[in-house]
Structure 1
Amino acid sequence: MIEKSQAAEAAPGSKLDVDAIVIGAGFAGLLAIYKLRQAGLTVQALEASDSIGGVWNWNRYPGARCDVESMQYSYSFSEELQQEWEWSERYATQPEILRYIEHVADRFDLNRHVQLNTRVVSATYQAHENAWQIQTQSGREITARFCIMATGCLSAARMPEFPGKEKFKGDILHTGHWPKSGYDFSGKHVAVIGTGSSGIQAIPMIAKTAKSLTVLQRTATYSVPARNRVLDATEKRAWKANYAQLREMARYAPSGTLYEFGERKAEETPPQEQTAEFEKRWAKGGPGFLRAFSDISSSPIANKAAGDFIRAKIAEVVQDPEKRRLLTPATTLPVGSKRICVDTGYFETFNRDNVDLIDIRNDPIKGIEENGLSTQNRKFDLDCIVFAIGFDVIVGSLMKIGIKGRDGRTLKEKWKNGPGTYLGLMVAGFPNLFLVTGPGSPSVLTNMMVSIEQHIEWITSCLQTMRQQGNNYIEPDEAAESKWMDDANSLAETMPFLRANSWYMASPESGSSPRRFMLYSGGVGTYREICDRVAEKNYPGFNICARHTVFDVATDLS
């Protein structure tokens, strides 16, 4: 699959000049290579792992699966690719998605532009050259006119520092950095900390073979059944026959995913009919449940109706009264204020005799010991601890790189009171640096494939326009950036997002300023139209010009 020359980082001290450097080789990074290369730019991608795939390379935990249907969670840039690839299930597993990514990289000859095992430690804008200088962990330097951060929203795994962790004699795993060789839980006493999406997927699988499983939960989570199934040939043919039309519809759908969108308002629907519609959605499975009525995200009454229905379903499934109580989300937590989870047998798992549930909000973890862990009130002997606590989302991977902009200011300093971008694409003070699905964009509120394609297409088109105009410098205005983020936060105030303590929120380091919503919640279609209008009007809000530099001709890597 991967050429040997790409399996390790180049020798320290060697230099390379390219038009564009891409950080990351997941879905976004690979598409960036394809599009930028098509546009005539020389490009090099750097990937910290020993394999391509991004989040689908790192997240190999048992039960790992996409929550967007397979026929929609894929690239749309090639009709031949769409027609030839065969998805096997409604919701693809991690191994199948990774096989798809590897197939795409092979089919379009993208691997030769990827350097693996290469961790970027710094990216510094050199004003005198109007270029970015990238330094890797081994000391290699790469110079590029443009820097595209395709580092991923869910790639910086968060590992808490519980006291005593280093003394534990058993195995410690993280769902976001799962061993490629897998892990055998047979006959072991296991604890899983965290009940977000990865925990909800992994817990049912671990419980099947573990001798005992203790789940440590802080907050009860809304989850709907996936109703996963094998895709039949007729269904796949129907998608493929209409892909062009369906893809175009998805590009302007609110979340970039095609659901059966309910047109009625729950507030205006009699209770019996409300329940019937929710039952239909529950039986079908998937996050389309939240599209049952048009006002679930805007009306507290409609939102509570959806939440009450899920709470009732949990009560039907979970037999033990205490576990049922702990697994039931609070009525004060709006549905959709956090990304809703999609599960296979999650709540049913807590009816197993070998599964226990601990509320660490009221019985917090004290620390980890040689043979297990202790909470305030209990002690657990364990062979394995699994952290399913997620990631430093959206900005975590960027913060791990020492990114220094035009005036020597670091991105971490710039964002100390919360991240700010213009259109979610660029940051004032950081010329020629593009972010893919970063803060200020629809990002993780959406089908990431649709958002990734929109970003890469916009960035590529922008660079082509600049080249045609003889320009090589682009940077957003501070005022445009500030207004964009203020507008995004104001928009979120009309929705349920601000009513939950979720990872959608950014907290300033000082703790003095209010927490702010990090994303654009106006929908993929509206966001796309805004970005397109900016491009059509010759990029208002951006400073674009030509700057004479010593860096004019890039080396051809082909």
Structure 2
Amino acid sequence: MSTQHTPQNPAPQQAQPEHLDALVIGAGVAGLYQLHRLREMGLKVRAYETGSGVGGTWYWNRYPGARFDSQAEIYQYWFSEELYKSWQPSERFPAQPETERWLNYVADKLDLKKDIQFGTRIASAHFDEAEDLWRITTAAGETVTAQYLLACCGMLSAPIVDRFPGQSSFKGEVLITGLWPKEPVDLQGKRVAVVGTGATGIQVIQTIAPEVGSMKIFVRTPQYIIPMQNPKYSEQDWQKWGERFHETKQRVRSTFAGFDYDFDAGPWDEKTPEERTAILERNWNDGSLALWLASFPEMFFDEAVSEEVSEFVRAKMRDRLQHRADLCELLIPQDYGFGTHRVPLENKYLEVYLQPNVEGVDCRKAPIERIVPEGIQTADGTVHEVDVIILALGFDAGSGALSRIDIRGRGGRSLKEQWSQEIRTSMGLQVHGYPNLFTTGAPLAPSAALCNMTTCLQQQVDWITDCIAYARQNGKQVIEATQDFEDAWVQHHDETAAATLVVKTDSWYMGSNVEGKPRRLISYIGGVGNYNRQCDELASQGYPGFAMR
């Protein structure tokens, strides 16, 4: 089995643990910015990163075809106009190698790497109530103490790995998309199986189809798709975006999902059928996520509207599948509405199934039972013999990265144990019972799933940094969300979610892809602009609900 593992640096000899003002977990989009903001405050801070380089999701997810589905002009840092203008993306939706280079460019421009310890996984973090500090231990045994612990672990950074019995018995190569090896993988002419057809699986499938000898695609949950329009960007194109820096910066902070487009078409009921179709066509042809996040919000609440929008997309898919009944049944969703799952952008993904060397295996009729030395065995007894198995099984989203660290708060309470019963946070910024622990990309905030990630992660980092600065200015050493505040937020979150069709759909948004995971929408669905306003109000009022002492 081939997966990517980063060796741990050996622990140095320690007479006494080093003390930091703040420790940041992760060196992705959020971790880099959090490190920068805390250094600006003059704190002694270090980031710890499991990988050998910066990038977070753009370091680990180097599988074939990995790329943005947020446009390059909005997947950006907004704290520096000069930084924005000085890096020119090559296209609207850049691929992983370019994005990794961009994040290295940011880290180098800000001289961040000197304060990042690479090749180091945080194994545990226990709050010392007597000293009001966190005692943190790495997997290699190094210990550090810190007043503030900032978890920038990523919302999609805990890949599902050991999913099937017998996985280690396979005599070929098993590849995990979220742990793709750095060295090149030769798939030329090989018999390849791909398990999983979410956003990642779709990118892999459409990319490797021209080079493999044959491909079997194991489909359990068909996906609605939107064809990506990905034009190249010239220097002149980027200059135009640079001129709109301040306008775009403000725009993304106020929209529903942190993009530069929003639900501006007007109410569904006020449109004629022809006007509705025209709006759907316009957003479809934009080749972005606009059809999902900028056409009609009623699709999330009204089953009749949901069905009409869903049928619009189904018709597009049927045409591309040449109305082949077997493929339409396999690949076009019928039992959930468009937009209640994560919607992938794609490039000729459906056409792959028309190739003579590609077979779609319906896992609803015959689920995968186990992996055997020769390949994949399904419940009907068929053994699908292959040379390579690619597992695009997704992640334990939102909560998984933190749950895989032994985090213990007041009274020795375990975050992993608490979240195995019920996943709760205070606006995705703190968890009651864990003083001075701040989180980004955590459950019950838009950043957990329903947001252009750079928009939401930066907003959270800014809020957290300002909260710490406020406490320090007022002589306070400890910050902890109160039980009452957390209860109220969870109630508001659940009431907001319950009004939508999203909670009626099984998906990773609801934790349905992880066996035993408590069912709750992991992302706040009240809108990015609305969430940001609530956060701003808390800050302006002196952070009520966040007790300081």
SS of the residue 2:168 aligns to: helix
Give the superposition deviation at 1:283: 1.9
For 1:257-296, list aligned pairs within 5 A. 257-259=259-261, 261-290=263-292, 291-296=294-299
- Given the alignment, which residue of 285, 302, 306 partners 2:305? 302
For 1:417-496, list aligned pairs within 5 A. 417-443=421-447, 444-496=449-501
Alpha-carbon deviations, 1:35-58, whole Å to 9, x = none? 000011110111111111110000
- Given the alignment, which residue of 197, 200, 217 partners 2:199? 197
Aligned to 1:95: 97
Alpha-carbon deviations, 1:386-420, whole Å to 9, x = none? 00011111111101100010111110122222211
Tell me which stretches of 4 or more aligned residues in structure 1 moved more than 6 Å: 507-511
Q: Is the 8 A contact 1:446 1:524 kept in 2?
A: yes
Using the alignment, how far apart are the partners of 1:422 and 1:509 within structure 2?
A: 23
- Given the alignment, which residue of 352, 358, 361 partners 2:355? 352
TM-score (norm 1): 0.93
TM-score (norm 2): 0.95
SS of the residue 1:48 aligns to: coil
Aligned to 2:329: 325
Q: Is the 8 A contact 1:256 1:525 kept in 2?
A: yes
Q: Is the 8 A contact 1:418 1:506 kept in 2?
A: no
Give the superposition deviation at 1:508: 13
Alpha-carbon deviations, 1:225-265, whole Å to 9, x = none? 11112123443222100101111111111111012644223
Quick one: structure 1 residues 514 and 268, their matched pair in 2 at CA, closer, same or farther if it must change by over 3 Å? farther
Aligned to 2:4: none
Query: What letter corresponds to residue 485 of structure 1 in structure 2?
Result: V
Q: Percentage identity across aligned positions?
A: 38
Aligned to 2:410: 406
Q: Is the 8 A contact 2:301 2:499 kept in 1?
A: yes
Give the superposition deviation at 1:510: 11
- Shifted more, 412-421 versus 94-103: the winner is 412-421
- Given the alignment, which residue of 162, 165, 180 partners 2:164? 162
- Given the alignment, which residue of 110, 113, 116 partners 2:112? 110
Give the superposition deviation at 1:7: 9.7
Quick one: structure 1 residues 166 and 33, their matched pair in 2 at CA, closer, same or farther if it must change by over 3 Å? same
Query: What letter corresponds to residue 358 of structure 1 in structure 2?
Result: V
Quick one: structure 1 residues 197 and 506, their matched pair in 2 at CA, closer, same or farther if it must change by over 3 Å? closer
Using the alignment, how far apart are the partners of 1:425 and 1:9 within structure 2?
A: 32
Q: Is the 8 A contact 1:9 1:115 kept in 2?
A: no
Query: What letter corresponds to residue 476 of structure 1 in structure 2?
Result: A
- Shifted more, 264-273 versus 363-372: the winner is 264-273
Using the alignment, how far apart are the partners of 1:334 and 1:492 within structure 2?
A: 16
Query: What letter corresponds to residue 56 of structure 2 in structure 1?
Result: G
Give the superposition deviation at 1:313: 0.7
For 1:334-349, list aligned pairs within 5 A. 334-349=337-352
Query: What letter corresponds to residue 11 of structure 1 in structure 2?
Result: P
For 1:13-28, list aligned pairs within 5 A. 13=14, 15-28=17-30
Q: Is the 8 A contact 2:404 2:416 kept in 1?
A: no
- Given the alignment, which residue of 490, 505, 521 partners 1:517? 521
Aligned to 2:397: 393
Aligned to 2:367: 364
How many equivalent pairs are there?
538
- Given the alignment, which residue of 209, 212, 215 partners 1:213? 215
SS of the residue 2:47 aligns to: strand
Query: What letter corresponds to residue 165 of structure 1 in structure 2?
Result: Q
- Shifted more, 513-522 versus 320-329: the winner is 513-522
Q: Is the 8 A contact 2:8 2:120 kept in 1?
A: no
- Shifted more, 61-70 versus 375-384: the winner is 375-384
- Shifted more, 195-204 versus 159-168: the winner is 159-168
Using the alignment, how far apart are the partners of 1:349 and 1:46 within structure 2?
A: 41
Using the alignment, how far apart are the partners of 1:74 and 1:445 within structure 2?
A: 17
Using the alignment, how far apart are the partners of 1:213 and 1:110 within structure 2?
A: 43
Alpha-carbon deviations, 1:138-171, whole Å to 9, x = none? 1111100000000001111101332221111100
Aligned to 1:556: none
Query: What letter corresponds to residue 186 of structure 2 in structure 1?
Result: D
SS of the residue 1:101 aligns to: helix
Quick one: structure 1 residues 237 and 508, their matched pair in 2 at CA, closer, same or farther if it must change by over 3 Å? closer
Using the alignment, how far apart are the partners of 2:512 and 2:67 within structure 1?
A: 30
In the alignment, structure 1 segments of 5+ residues that lack a partner are: 1-5, 546-558
Alpha-carbon deviations, 1:317-352, whole Å to 9, x = none? 11332012110111x312211121111111111111
Query: What letter corresponds to residue 453 of structure 2 in structure 1?
Result: M
What's the C-alpha RMSD, in Å, of the aligned pairs? 1.9
Alpha-carbon deviations, 1:27-75, whole Å to 9, x = none? 1111011000001111011111111111000000111011100110011
Q: Is the 8 A contact 2:397 2:511 kept in 1?
A: no
- Shifted more, 320-329 versus 54-63: the winner is 320-329
Quick one: structure 1 residues 200 and 267, their matched pair in 2 at CA, closer, same or farther if it must change by over 3 Å? farther
Alpha-carbon deviations, 1:510-543, whole Å to 9, x = none? 97x9832222111111111111111111111121
Using the alignment, how far apart are the partners of 1:508 and 1:171 within structure 2?
A: 24
